[in-house]
Amino acid sequence: MSTDDDGGRGGGTCCTSRQNGIVQPLLTDLYEITMAYAYWKSGKMNDHAVFDLFFRKNPFQGEFTIFAGLEECIKFLNKFHYSPSDIKYLKSTMPTTVDPRFFDYLQSLTARDVTIYAIDEGSVVFPRIPLLRVEGPLIMAQLLETTLLTLVNYASLMATNAARYRMVAGKNITLLEFGLRRAQGPDGGLSASKYSYVGGFDGTSNVLAGKLFNIPVCGTHAHAYITSFTSISDLRGKTLAHKQTGDVLDLLELACKHREAIANDLGALASQASGGELAALISYAVAFPERFTALVDTYDVKRSGLLNFCAVALALNDLGYKAIGIRIDSGDLAYLSNVARDIFEKIAVKYDIPWFAKLMICASNDINEETIISLNEQSHKIDCFGIGTHLVTCQRQPALGCVYKMVEINDEPRIKLSQEVGKVTIPGRKDAYRLYGSDGYALIDLLQKTTEEPPQVMQKVLCRHPFQQTKRANVTPSRVEPLHKIYWKDGKLCQPLPTLQEIRNRVQESLNTLRNDHKRNLNPTPYKVAISDTLYRFIDELWSQNAPIGELR
C-alpha cells in the first residue's frame, strides 16, 4: 500500500504490516476538527473521556455480526500523527480566526494517552455490546471517531456477509470472491477481498489482495478469450510436450478425435460445437496444461462448451495432465451442473479415469444467498461458487451503522436520550461477558458496570432488558467469557495481533458457539443482550436526572 507524502507518521513500532496510506488523521469528518478546536479553546482538551463504539441492529435481517477491522484500528493508532502537509492544509481550510497555537498543538498529538478495550477480531458480536471502548483525553478520543468507524463498519459488514454465504453454501463448497470490478472503488475492493476471506471464503480474483494479505488467488479466462478465436485456423500453437516422456504431440488432432467420439456417445453432433471455442480452449490448455479450467457458456453449454472442454481435457489426459474443471456463468445453473456432472461421470467410466467424474464445476452469474439456497433445493452438482456484486457491495444492506457515543466524562457518566428508545445510550464504563448454557452454547451477553464483580460460573445472575422493566431472567451460567481485553495502552500494543488466518479460524469457532436457530437464514431466533440489575437501576436514575419534566396547562 502507499505511504504518506511526508515519509511516515510517527508512533511506535508495534505494527509492522503495511496499511493503506489514506488511513491517516485527515481521513475524518470536518466536525471532528472543529470540535477539537472548540475543546482546545475552552480548555477541555485533557478532560478524560470514555466512548463506546457499537451498533444497534444486526445486518441482513440476521441475528449475528462478525467483528472485523480491529487490526487496522490499532495500526491507525500506532501511526497517528499530523504531518506538516496536514497542518498546512488545515490552516488553509479552517477560519482565519483560529488561534495558530492550535495547529502547533495538533502537530504534537499522538495516541499514546489513549487506551483501547476491544473484543477479539473475528468474534461473533451483538447489538449494544461495545466493540471498542476508547478512553483518553477528550480531544484525542474525539478525533479518532470517524476513522475508527470507517475501519470497523465496512470490515464487519463484509465479514458478516461472507460468513452468511459460507453457512448457506456449506463446508464442502469452495467460495471465491470475484467482486473487484463491482466494488466501491479500489479501497472497497481491497477491503472486500480481505474480509470475505476472514468471513470464510477460500480465495479471491484480486491479485493485489493476494500479495498484501497472502490470500489464495484464482482465475481462468473471460468470454473475451473465447470470442477472440473465430475458427480453428486462428490457432497458432497446438503442440504440447507429454508431461512424463517429453514427446511433443498435436493437441488439436487429439482433441478432434475425442470430440467426435464423445459426440457419438452422447448422441450429439460434433459439427454443432464451435470451432473457435475449441481453438480457444486448446490455446489455453497449451498455456496452462496443469491448471486447465474453462468457461463453457460462451455459445451453448450442452451443444458446444461441454463437448469442446471434454475433448481438450481428454487430449490433455493423453499427455499426462489432469484438467481442473469448468465455469458456468449463465443459464439454469442447477440443470446445467447436473448435465455436466453426468457427462463427466460417463466419460470417467468409459475411459477408466475416475478423477474425471470429480472435475470441478464452478458457477458464477450474479449469485446471492437466495440463489444458493434455491440451488441447494434443486440438488445441484456445483463444487464452487464465484460471487461478486452481491458479496462486495452487500446489496441486501449496504451499511452496518456502527456509532461512537460518549458514555463518561471526567468520571461522570453521560447518557444520550431520545424519543426513540433504541437510540438511548447505556452510560458509563462497562464490561461485557458472554454467558454459556449447560449445552455449551452461548446463551446471553451481559453488560455491567466495571465496578461490579464479574458473574460467576454456576451462580445465578439477574439479566435485564436495558429499557423494558418486565423483561428479565435469572441465568446460571456454565461458563463465563469476558469479552473485552486491553489492546492498546501507553502507546503500546497489549495483545498479540492475530494473523488473517487466525482471525478467519476464530470466525468459524465463534459461530460454532451459537445455536443453529440463531444462525438460520429465515426468521432466526434473536440472541439476547442484557444488562445487570445494578446497571439497570443506574440507567433509570440517570434518565430521571437528565430527562426534561413536561408541564400540563
pLDDT digits (tens, 9 = 90+) for 263-273: 988 877 777 89
Determine the Cα angle at 459 with ends 455 and 460, to 5°. Answer: 90
Nearest to 478 by CA among 462, 459, 454: 459
What mean pLDDT is reported for the chain?
94
Contact 361, 420 (CB under 8 A): no
What is the distance between the alpha carbons of residues 158 and 394, in angstroms, rounded to a whole number? 7
Write the pLDDT tens digit of every residue in 478-488: 999 999 999 99
For the CA atoms of 247, 251, 254, 258, the dihedral, rounded to the nearest 10 degrees, stands at 140
Name the DSSP class of 290: T
Q: What is the pLDDT of residue 12?
A: 41
Write the pLDDT tens digit of every residue in 358-413: 999 999 999 999 999 999 999 999 999 999 999 999 999 999 999 999 999 999 99
Percent of the chain surpassing pLDDT 70: 97
What is the CB-side half-sphere exposure of residue 153 using CA atoms within 13 A? 17
Instruction: Give domain 220-382's CATH architecture.
Output: Alpha-Beta Barrel (3.20)
All structural domains of the chain with their residue ranges: 30-164+398-545, 220-382
For residue 192, pLDDT over 80 is answered with yes
For residue 9, pLDDT over 60 is answered with no
Q: What is the pLDDT of residue 305?
A: 96
For residue 2, pLDDT over 80 is answered with no
Give the residue carrying C-alpha cell 455490546. 129
Q: How large is the average pLDDT for residues 414-428?
A: 88
Nearest to 76 by CA among 131, 135, 15, 121: 15
How does residue 14 score in pLDDT terms, banded at 50, 70 and 90? low
Q: How large is the average pLDDT for residues 157-163?
A: 98
For residue 19, pLDDT over 70 is answered with no
The DSSP-derived string for 235-250 is: ----EEE-TTT--EEE
Write the single-letter amino acid at 137: P
Write the single-letter amino acid at 290: E
Q: What is the pLDDT of residue 16?
A: 45
Q: What is the pLDDT of residue 394?
A: 95
For residue 4, pLDDT over 50 is answered with no
Write the pLDDT tens digit of every residue in 278-323: 999 999 999 999 999 999 999 999 999 999 999 999 999 999 999 9
Contact 500, 194 (CB under 8 A): yes
Judging by DSSP bridges, how do beta strands 403-409 and 174-177 pair with one another?
A: unpaired
Contact 534, 448 (CB under 8 A): yes
Q: How large is the average pLDDT for residues 150-176?
A: 98
Q: How large is the average pLDDT for residues 457-473?
A: 94
Q: Which fold has domain 30-164+398-545?
A: nicotinate phosphoribosyltransferase (3.20.140)
What is the distance between the alpha carbons of residues 152 and 110, in angstroms, rounded to a whole number? 21
For residue 215, pLDDT over 80 is answered with yes
Q: What is the pLDDT of residue 243?
A: 96
How does residue 5 score in pLDDT terms, banded at 50, 70 and 90? very low
Q: What is the pLDDT of residue 336?
A: 97
Cell of 272: 454443432
Q: How large is the average pLDDT for residues 323-329?
A: 98
For residue 116, pLDDT over 80 is answered with yes
For residue 253, pLDDT over 60 is answered with yes
Q: What is the pLDDT of residue 17?
A: 54
What is the distance between the alpha carbons of residues 413 and 408, in angstroms, rounded to a whole number? 4
Q: How large is the average pLDDT for residues 54-62?
A: 97
Q: What is the pLDDT of residue 1?
A: 41
**Which of 268-277, 431-440, 525-534 has the lowest average pLDDT?**
268-277
Interior/surface letters 318-340, b for 16+ CB within 10 angstroms, e for the rest:
bbebbbbbbbbbeeebbebbbbb
